[in-house]
């Protein structure tokens, strides 16, 4: 076994970390306060490769493996939750389906735009009445109208939809075919009948835009279908499996950031004649966080390694996402505790990181859904 990053991965980690230290982390509070992404930084990500992690070089990306993606997401998470979530959605949800299933014409049309730094990508799965249970709840429908599709319905909580050149939409193309009745269709947001709502007012991740979309008799050409007719549900499950590694890595980064802030603060703040870091209760929180962050990181990188090596990774990715998001919650909670009242103030980053991390146990499959996936895989393997 080898727990070291390869020379290439270590160099990539240094590159992304250095970029985030200068271009992302210093602006995280501003992004949160202003409720908008910093486009100056996003445009610069083009040259680093962060806008085309999965995208082939021919279309302007760097097509790095799953370990490289995890490294990028951890570093972005460590720097700024809002920026990291929008980049996770852009790469994993926006670019990835087009890279995987796009025709030559779809790739040529959309991938260069997606990596340009002028837009970010989006995938619309969730609806007002369907989140965890997409198969049972999705109502958005595309009617076959000869040379076009006519789409009606609505999507909720879609990251980056208002800043995307194209949105991949999961919808039904056959109401009677169960999970074989779903397809993915590419919709350009300026198509007549597409209405993008105002950004949702959220607890955290203020800079990452989350919007509702409605489709009112939206007509798109027949060749806007992404992948095969009826394959949409399987495509969605595949994308979500990979996305769990990204959100897990992002959560490890958030936990790492809160942990570093807590250690710095504990070394400076004094109580009862010594730095609070000299009190055993504080040391135990630091020790527990050290163990838990490392355990979460190992699971996430194991999942990434399995994926990079073409092995089955679904169960470990779900385990990694579950662990990393629960660790982020606990570590951020303790980081505020270590800061005392100052941790409750917007003056200190741990307050923002705590709010940002809360979504991670909900998005791309809640913790309950991760437990269902894990248990199902275990029971299948045991023949139960
Ligand atoms: C900031 C943000 C960004 C997002 N970005 C996107 C995006 O880009 N694209 C997109 O498509 N969606 C996005 N979402 C939506 C997100 O993925 C969903 O909210 C999530 O999948 C949960 O769905 P839900 O909110 O409908 O909850 P529900 O599915 O209604 O679940 C409610 C509760 O019931 C539990 N539950 C449901 N079923 C079961 C079960 N069988 N057993 C046990 N418990 C169960 C859930 O775990 C949860 O605790 C985003 C959401 C947010 C808040």
Q: Are 172 and 154 contained in the same domain?
A: yes
Same domain for 136 and 202? yes
Concatenate the DSSP letters of all residues of 193-223 into one string: TEEE-PPP--SS-TTS-EEEEEEEEEEEEGG
For residue 247, report the distance from its CA to the centre of ligand 1, in Å. 14
- Domain stops at, among 67, 88, 114: 114
Q: Is 2 part of any domain? A: no
205 and 263, same domain (yes or no)? no
Report how far apart the first and last C-alpha atoms of the chain are (Å, whole number). 32
pTM above 0.85, yes or no: yes
**For residue 367, which atom of ligand 1 is closest to its CA?**
47
Q: What is the pLDDT of residue 275?
A: 98
Same domain, 227 and 241: no
User: What confidence score (pLDDT) does residue 278 get?
Assistant: 98
Residue 1 falls within a domain, yes or no? no
133 by Cβ neighbours in 10 Å (0-12 / 13-18 / 19+) ranks as exposed
Nearest CA to ligand 1 atom 17: 363
361 shares a domain with 306:
yes
CA atoms within 13 A on the CB side of 377: 13
Residue of 126, 199, 213 to mutate, ligand 1, most atoms within 8 A of C-beta: 126
Q: Is the CB of 369 under 6 A from ligand 1?
A: yes
Query: For residue 282, what are the CA distances in angstroms to 68, 69, 272, 275, 279?
Result: 34, 33, 13, 10, 6
Range of the domain at 351: 233-381
Contact 359 CB / ligand 1 (< 6 Å): yes
Mean pLDDT for the chain overall: 98
Task: Write the CATH number for 186.
Answer: 2.40.110.10
Cβ neighbourhood burial of 69 (10 Å; 0-12, 13-18, 19+): buried
Tokens of 261: 């802030």
Strand partners, 184: 170, 226
Q: What is the whole-number distance in angstroms between the Cα of residue 370 and the centre of ligand 1?
A: 12
Burial of 147 (0-12, 13-18, 19+ CB in 10 A): exposed
Length in residues, the chain: 384
> Quick one: pLDDT at residue 384?
77
The residue to which tokens 């009112």 are assigned: 216
pLDDT in tens, 327-379: 999 999 999 999 999 999 999 999 999 999 999 999 999 999 999 999 999 99
Within this chain, do residues 92 and 165 fall inside the same structural domain, yes or no? no
What are the pLDDT digits (tens) for 164-195? 999 999 999 999 999 999 999 999 999 999 99
Whose CA is closest to atom 52 on ligand 1?
Answer: 157
**pLDDT tens digits, residue range 143-162?**
999 999 999 999 999 999 99
Query: Looking at the domain assignment, is residue 13 inside a domain?
Result: yes
User: Could you count the other beta carbons within 10 Å of the beta carbon of residue 299?
Assistant: 23
Please identify, by atom number, the ligand 1 atom nearest to the C-alpha of residue 132.
29
CATH code (residue 341): 1.20.140.10
Are 82 and 203 in a shared domain? no
Alpha helices for the chain (secondary structure H): 7-23, 28-34, 39-48, 66-79, 81-88, 96-101, 104-114, 134-137, 232-268, 280-308, 314-339, 349-357, 367-381
- Asked if residue 240 and residue 206 are part of one domain, the reply reads no
CB 207 within 8 A of CB 36: yes
- Output the CA 363–ligand 1 centroid distance in Å: 6
Residue 73, pLDDT score: 98
Query: How many domains, in total, are found in the chain?
Result: 3
CATH number of 35's domain: 1.10.540.10
Any idea which residues carry the catalytic annotation? 364
DSSP code per residue over 255-317? HHHHHHHHHHHHHH-EETTEEGGGSHHHHHHHHHHHHHHHHHHHHHHHHHHHHHTT---HHHH
Is 106 in the same domain as 153?
no
Tell me, yes or no, whether 103 and 127 share the same domain.
Answer: no
Q: Whose alpha carbon is nearest atom 44 of ligand 1?
A: 368
Distance 227 CA to ligand 1 centre (A): 25
Residues 376, 249: one domain? yes
Q: Which residues pair with 172 in a beta bridge?
A: 141, 182
**Beta carbon of 302 within 6 Å of any ligand 1 atom:** no
Joined tokens for residue 290: 């050290």
> pLDDT by residue for the chain (384 residues), tens digit each?
899 999 999 999 999 999 999 999 999 999 999 999 999 999 999 999 999 999 999 999 999 999 999 999 999 999 999 999 999 999 999 999 999 999 999 999 999 999 999 999 999 999 999 999 999 999 999 999 999 999 999 999 999 999 999 999 999 999 999 999 999 999 999 999 999 999 999 999 999 999 999 999 999 999 999 999 999 999 999 999 999 999 999 999 999 999 999 999 999 999 999 999 999 999 999 999 999 999 999 999 999 999 999 999 999 999 999 999 999 999 999 999 999 999 999 999 999 999 999 999 999 999 999 999 999 999 999 997
Last residue of a domain, one of 72, 97, 114: 114
CA 367, 359, 189: angle at the middle one, nearest 5?
115
Domain termination site, one of 178, 200, 231: 231
Specify whether the CB–CB gap between 76 and 28 falls below 8 A: no
Q: How far apart are CA 26 and CA 11, in angstroms?
A: 22
Do residue 296 and residue 227 come from a single domain? no
């Amino acid at each position: 076994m080898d727990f070291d990053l390869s020379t290439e991965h270590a160099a990539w980690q240094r590159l992304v970390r250095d970029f985030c230290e200068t271009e992302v982390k210093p602006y995280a509070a501003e992004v949160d306060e202003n409720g908008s992404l910093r486009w100056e930084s996003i445009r610069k990500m083009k040259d680093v490769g962060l806008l085309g992690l999965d995208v082939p070089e021919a279309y302007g990306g760097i097509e790095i493996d799953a370990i490289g993606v995890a490294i990028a997401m951890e570093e972005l998470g460590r720097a700024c939750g809002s920026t990291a979530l929008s980049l996770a959605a852009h790469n994993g949800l926006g670019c990835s389906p087009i890279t995987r299933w796009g025709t030559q014409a779809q790739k040529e049309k959309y991938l260069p735009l997606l990596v340009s730094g002028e837009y970010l990508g989006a995938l619309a799965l969730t609806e007002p009445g369907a989140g965890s249970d997409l198969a049972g709840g999705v109502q958005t429908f595309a009617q076959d109208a000869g040379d076009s599709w006519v789409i009606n319905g609505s999507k909720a909580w879609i990251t980056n939809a208002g800043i995307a050149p194209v949105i991949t939409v999961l919808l039904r193309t056959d109401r009677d075919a169960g999970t074989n009745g779903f397809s993915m269709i590419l919709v350009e947001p300026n198509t007549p009948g597409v209405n993008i709502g105002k950004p949702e007012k959220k607890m955290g991740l203020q800079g990452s835009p989350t919007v509702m979309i409605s489709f009112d008799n939206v007509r798109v050409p027949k060749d806007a279908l992404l992948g095969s007719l009826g394959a949409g549900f399987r495509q969605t499950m595949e994308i979500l499996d990979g996305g769990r590694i990204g959100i897990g890595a992002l959560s490890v980064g958030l936990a790492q950031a809160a942990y570093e802030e807590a250690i710095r603060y504990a070394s400076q703040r004094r109580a009862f004649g010594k730095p609070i870091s000299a009190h055993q209760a504080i040391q135990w929180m630091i020790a527990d966080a050290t163990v838990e962050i490392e355990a979460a990181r190992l699971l996430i990188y194991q999942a990434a390694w399995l994926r990079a090596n073409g092995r089955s990774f679904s169960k470990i990715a779900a385990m990694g996402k579950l662990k990393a998001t629960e660790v982020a919650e606990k570590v951020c909670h303790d980081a505020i505790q270590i800061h005392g009242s100052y941790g409750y103030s917007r003056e200190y980053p741990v307050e923002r990181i705590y709010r940002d991390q809360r979504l991670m146990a909900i998005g791309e499959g809640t913790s309950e859904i991760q437990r269902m996936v894990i248990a199902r895989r275990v029971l299948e393997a045991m023949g139960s």
